[in-house]
């Protein structure tokens, strides 16, 4: 059993208020939780308008499935938000 952890840093230049950011983040987190059955949350930079940092974690049976899941999540985020992924960190525990 492995724990896959993915942290994505996104840049959203069109966001000009925390209210706008909150709408984007809440929608994205709900989609991630529903589609992939992972734990997901905004983990950093909650008070910076144009910076979004999303963390996702899941328990998987083996390393290959962890890599596949993290690839799918990153692709899904890229396709479902206008924000640009500027950094991606992966960890397998």
- The domain spans of the chain are 2-92
Instruction: Give the mean pLDDT of 1-23.
Output: 91
- Burial (Cβ within 10 Å: 0-12, 13-18, ≥19) of residue 54: buried
Q: What is the pLDDT of residue 26?
A: 93
Q: Kindly report the CATH class assigned to 2-92.
A: alpha beta
Is-contact 28 81, C-beta < 8 A? yes
Q: The pTM is what?
A: 0.86
Please determine, for residue 54, whether its predicted confidence score (pLDDT) is greater than 90: yes
On the question of pLDDT at 46 being above 90, the answer is no
């Amino acid at each position: 059993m492995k724990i896959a952890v993915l942290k994505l840093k996104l840049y959203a230049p069109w966001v000009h208020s925390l209210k706008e950011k909150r709408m984007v983040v809440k929608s994205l987190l709900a989609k991630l939780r529903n589609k992939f059955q992972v734990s997901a949350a905004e983990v950093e930079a909650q008070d910076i308008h144009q910076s979004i940092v999303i963390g996702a974690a899941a328990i998987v049976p083996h390393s290959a499935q962890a890599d596949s899941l993290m690839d799918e999540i990153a692709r899904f985020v890229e396709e479902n938000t206008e924000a640009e992924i500027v950094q991606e960190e992966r960890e397998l525990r």
